[in-house]
Amino acid sequence: MDQDITRREFVAAGAGLVPVAANAQAEVKPAAKERIVRLDLLTSREVGDWFKTNDAIFVPHGPISGHGPWTTLGVHAHGAEAVATLLARKCNGLVYPTVYSCFAGATRLYPGTVPFSYEFHIQLLKTVVRSLHAQGFGRIFLLCYTNPEDAAGLIAARDLFDIEGEIPVASLVATRGMSSEPVKKLLGEYQGSAGEAIVDYAALRLLNQERGIAEPELAKVGLKGGQDQNPEIREAINVLRSRGTRGFRYDSEREHSSHGTVGLTWKGQPDIELGLKILDALADYLLPAVDALKKHRDYLKEHPPKRIEKQERLGP
Ligand SMILES: [Zn+2]
């Protein structure tokens, strides 16, 4: 009870800081009427009934990793869960509770970052998928927002297919949709810089976890990108990363702080509305994967694997 009051006071205090939170209550209420999609919030009887009409579940995953002064530690995971929630609503799917035990890349020196090895992250995703599959889920989507966690999703999905009997799992990356036409069109009408910050605050609203914008004056202005290493070593790191990969670390708050703006207006309304539209467009971009996995799974069932024979005619 005490915690509830504290949380409400916290949100109310945040609402006083920035105008975008002013209509938060009006926005949250309709969202609360949406179908419950998160697996842990349903009863087994409800899930049993749902299984009669669907078999798709989304597993959002993303790290708790430092993102500078005005973007929260969970931004990647929030983006992933928000897109997964929208996808589930669009296709009558379900959402597994977000996996936060993830590889956190170069951010471990920011207070609050909780890093895990890729090896563990991959094993965890595989374990979740195996259990969901054994439980009867017929299409499983590992869904992350961006890198570096996308690599874990990729490896888990490929291993589970190739090494473990063609399990019906795919790995999705939400930011692949950022270059789609609908998103480009939305971004063209924004005076600020739409990046992880605006997506973070929009995702938190969508997930009924809205909070006031941290450091609102900084968040409205943003910072120039590309400053993410000390100038002394920046070129060497860029050489390595542009030609392959190399681990590195952020040593100052400024280095990993350029995540766009939030707290401006867009078409006369708070830009968080733009963030919500971006999330929806990202979900639309991923949506065809839901049917595609069904088609591929069914095709494979009809075409069991067999050793490749010499082809008399190879064709053109
Ligand atoms: Zn990030």
- Quote the pLDDT of residue 32: 56
- Quote the pLDDT of residue 97: 98
As given in the structure block, the two tokens for residue 42 are: 């349903």
| Exposure class string for 185-220: b at 16+ Cβ within 10 A, else e | ebbeebebbbbbbbbbbbbbbbeebbbbbbebebbb
Summarised one tens digit per residue, pLDDT across range 30-49 is: 555 799 999 999 999 999 99
CA of 283 to the centre of ligand 1 (A): 19
- Quote the pLDDT of residue 30: 52
From the number of C-beta atoms within 10 Å of its C-beta (0-12, 13-18, 19+), residue 163 rates as exposed
Q: Is residue 200 part of a domain?
A: yes
CA of 105 to the centre of ligand 1 (A): 10
- Quote the pLDDT of residue 49: 98
- Quote the pLDDT of residue 189: 87
**pTM over cut 0.95:** no
- Quote the pLDDT of residue 4: 43
Report, as ranges of residue numbers, the positions in the chain whose pLDDT lies below 50: 1-28
CA of 56 to the centre of ligand 1 (A): 27
CA of 29 to the centre of ligand 1 (A): 29
CA of 213 to the centre of ligand 1 (A): 17
d(CA 316, CA 314): 7
CA of 163 to the centre of ligand 1 (A): 31
Q: How many structural domains comprise the chain?
A: 1
Which residues face 58 on adjacent strands? 95, 141
Residues with beta carbon < 5 A to ion ligand 1? 196
Q: Is residue 175 part of a domain?
A: yes
- Quote the pLDDT of residue 19: 44
- Quote the pLDDT of residue 28: 47
Q: Is residue 279 part of a domain?
A: yes
Helices and strands, counts by H and E, the chain: 12, 6
CA of 78 to the centre of ligand 1 (A): 11
Q: Is residue 89 part of a domain?
A: yes
As given in the structure block, the two tokens for residue 238 are: 């860029």
Q: Is residue 138 part of a domain?
A: yes
CA of 103 to the centre of ligand 1 (A): 12
- Quote the pLDDT of residue 222: 96
CA of 5 to the centre of ligand 1 (A): 31
Sequence-distant (≥ 6) Cβ neighbours of residue 216 within 8 angstroms: 17, 18, 70, 263
Range of the domain at 197: 2-223+258-300
CA of 200 to the centre of ligand 1 (A): 10
CA of 207 to the centre of ligand 1 (A): 19
CA of 1 to the centre of ligand 1 (A): 33
From the number of C-beta atoms within 10 Å of its C-beta (0-12, 13-18, 19+), residue 118 rates as middle
CA of 191 to the centre of ligand 1 (A): 21
CA of 76 to the centre of ligand 1 (A): 6
- Quote the pLDDT of residue 8: 40
CA of 300 to the centre of ligand 1 (A): 36
CA of 196 to the centre of ligand 1 (A): 6
The enclosing domain of 16 has a CATH number of 3.40.50.10310
